[in-house]
Structure 1
Amino acid sequence: MRHNVELPELDRYRDYLRGHLRDHHFPQLSDNKFIEARVEDAYDRFITERLQGRGVSVATELSYRTLLDGLYVSSYDIVYSVLEENLWTRLPEWSWPSMADHLVTLPSVKEILDRYGVNGDFLSRENHRPMLTELLGIISEILDGYEL
């Protein structure tokens, strides 16, 4: 690990990762060790790719893939998309972010998300559609209970 090394590239990776974790509500946002390890891995990937003769743009793209590995889809993203795509007539758009935050904390919603293993490659798996259908059902029931 590169302790006490200040490089502009590391700051760029760090800022990008923190923004991504914040915007997609990943719990790793408060895990500084996780963030620093990812930043260092991404920078190492960039250097390795450049040493192997790859251009800057390719090395940059591959390093950002390393930075975000397993962090493409969050539970929040999935619940938000269910609200946005299927329940937009029941809730005003301004409420979707806070409602998605609330719903991902509910045991019935968490159980579905955990059972289907939402993570970086989740959207490419076959069980993506059945999980969305199941989530839509439970979220609709929850909203019915709230009389929304």
Structure 2
Amino acid sequence: MKQNNEQMGPDYFRLYLIGHLRDHWFPQYTDKRFIEERTEAAYDKFTEMRKDGHDVPIAQEMAMRILLEGIYVSRYDIIYNVVEENLWTRLPDYLWHKCTLHFLTLPEIHAVLDRYQVNGDFLSRETHWPMLLELLGLISEILDGYGLQ
């Protein structure tokens, strides 16, 4: 869908950010200050780029980079991906979301995520695959403990 300048107002960025935070289970979802600061920064970047003569798609892309900096992929996304990609034979798909939320309550899961310093840019690091393997092993052990073969 083609966007024009009027559709790229602060509300556009705010609603996009809130939806992203909600859909990916980021804790900032309830942080009104965070949402407003990011919204303002993204909108300021968009208007700056437009004033400098850049087309709407370029200005929007640069604004979105600011809007989503450090929040591209959440801990929820990582755990859900491990469950979906590797444990689909052990867990029916209707349980993936609930199991992911449950695993995110476990300190040992957060210990692994903390050790690998999971944030928005970690996917490009060399430690991404070792972390996924460690999480898969840990989650498999947890499921074994629950008697889920």
TM-score by length of structure 1 reads 0.93
Aligned counterpart, 2:118: 118
Amino acid paired to 1:97: H
Aligned counterpart, 1:88: 88
Structure 1 unaligned runs (5+)?
1-6
The whole-number CA distance in structure 2 between the counterparts of 1:102 and 1:19 is 22
Residue 114 of structure 1 deviates from its aligned partner by: 0.9
| Residue aligned with 1:36, SS | helix
* Percent of paired sites with the same residue: 59
TM-score by length of structure 2 reads 0.92
Pairing 1:141–2:137 present: no
Residue 130 of structure 1 deviates from its aligned partner by: 0.4
Aligned counterpart, 1:54: 54
Aligned counterpart, 2:30: 30
Residue 8 of structure 1 deviates from its aligned partner by: 6.8
Aligned residues between the structures: 142
Aligned counterpart, 2:4: none
- What does the per-residue CA deviation read over 1:11-45, in whole Å, with 9 as the maximum and x for residues that have no partner? 11111101100000000001000000000000011
- What does the per-residue CA deviation read over 1:43-68, in whole Å, with 9 as the maximum and x for residues that have no partner? 01101111222111100111011101
List structure 1 segments (4+ residues) > 2 angstroms apart after TM superposition.
none
